[in-house]
Amino acid sequence: MPAVVGEHLTKLFGHGETQVIALQDVSLSVEAGELVALMGPSGSGKTTLLRALSLIDPPTAGCVTIAGEQVCADALTTVDDRRLRREKVGIIFQAYNLIPFLTAVENVALVLTLTGIPQRAALQRTRELLQSLDLDHRADTYPATLSGGEQQRLAVARAVINSPAVILADEPTASLDTERGKAVMNLLRQLGRERRAAVIVVTHDERMIEGFDRVFHMVDGRIVTTGAEVPEKEKTRSMPAGEG
């Protein structure tokens, strides 16, 4: 069963003559443990598709299925999109979007406490994850004191802490240099596989293409190349020794 499916997704902005079609009948399916990229020029609809899949900005038409739970545009009012996100979706932002008044460990543990896990257990689990990401020494500091790479690793930790079915990342490496960007991509790939999550990454950075299982190219709100597999040698080339 695919981890996430988008079927005939359409997104319209505005009305009448000013109406803009941001997504046109887009369909895609991503399996658990798969790392896929959404690429395309600015305004091609990549981020809009990501927002539609996460129901942050739901589609005007079409259906989204996450871990078997289907939500269609005509039944949005009956759906608790936030429950769906906190239980089944992890989201990574270009600008990290860490909560400034929470420490690093609290930023990540918050996601667990929102799902009802007691605070003490949530903090314990988070510290273990941060240790594996080599962030444990920064656990009790505020995000403002972390470097860009540390902040993005923390954002990744927040996205994966509750083992979501799908991880959506919007330009996660855009604010990072190549080295740090690749490290974050490798981390996403590693955690996605370990936790059997489908990882969908919006990127326009051709340098990062090597690590993806499939790449969807978008133009004018449509997927123009339907998830061509990236050659195996390019995938392995992107993985540092000892990983994947």
Partner 1 sequence: MNLAYRDVRYRLGRFLLTALGVGLLLGTVMAMGGIYRGLVEDALSLVRAPAADLWVVQKDTNGPFAETSRVPEDVFRAIETIPGVREASPIAFQSLQFRVGPTLFRAQLVGHRPGRLGGPAAVTAGRPMVRGRYEMLLDRKAGVPLGTQIRIGRLAFTVVGLSEGIVSSAGDPVAFVSLQDAQEIQFLKSNEAIRNERARLAAGLRANPALAAVSAEDLAPLLQDTHLANAILVRLEPWADRHAVAARIERWNHYRAMPTEEQEEILAKSVVERARQQILLFRIILLSVSTVVIAMVIFTMTLEKTRDIATLKIIGAPDRTIAGLILQEALALGLLGYGLGAVLIGVTYDYFPRRVAILPFDQYVLLGIVMIICVLASLFGIRRALRVSPTLALGGGA
Give me the residues that bind partner 1 (CB under 8 A), please.
47, 51, 54, 56-57, 82-87, 89, 91, 93-97, 99-102, 106, 109-111, 113-115, 119, 122, 142, 158, 170
Q: Which is nearer to partner 1, 155 or 187 (CB)?
A: 155
- DSSP E strands in the chain: the ranges are 4-13, 20-30, 35-39, 61-66, 69-72, 89-92, 166-170, 198-202, 214-219, 222-229
Q: Which is nearer to partner 1, 11 or 235 (CB)?
A: 11
CB of 101 to partner 1, least distance (A): 4
Write the CB contacts of 119 (distance below 8 Å, at least 6 apart in sequence).
109, 113
CB of 39 to partner 1, least distance (A): 18
Write the CB contacts of 241 (distance below 8 Å, at least 6 apart in sequence).
none
Q: Which is nearer to partner 1, 80 or 243 (CB)?
A: 80
CB of 225 to partner 1, least distance (A): 25
* Token pair in block for residue 202: 């919006």
Distance separating alpha carbons of residues 239 and 99, to the nearest angstrom: 31
CB of 87 to partner 1, least distance (A): 7
Q: What's the alpha-carbon Rg for the chain, to the nearest Å?
A: 18
Nearest to 197 by CA among 46, 17, 35, 41: 35
CB of 238 to partner 1, least distance (A): 27
CB of 229 to partner 1, least distance (A): 29
CB 186 within 8 A of CB 169: no
DSSP reduced 3-state for 30? strand
Q: Which is nearer to partner 1, 56 or 239 (CB)?
A: 56
Q: At what angle do helices 104-114 and 148-160 cross, to 10 degrees?
A: 20
Q: Which is nearer to partner 1, 116 or 242 (CB)?
A: 116
CB of 240 to partner 1, least distance (A): 28
For residue 81, give the H/E element and its range. helix 81-88
Nearest to 109 by CA among 97, 100, 119, 99: 119
Q: Which is nearer to partner 1, 26 or 155 (CB)?
A: 155
Q: Which is nearer to partner 1, 29 or 43 (CB)?
A: 43
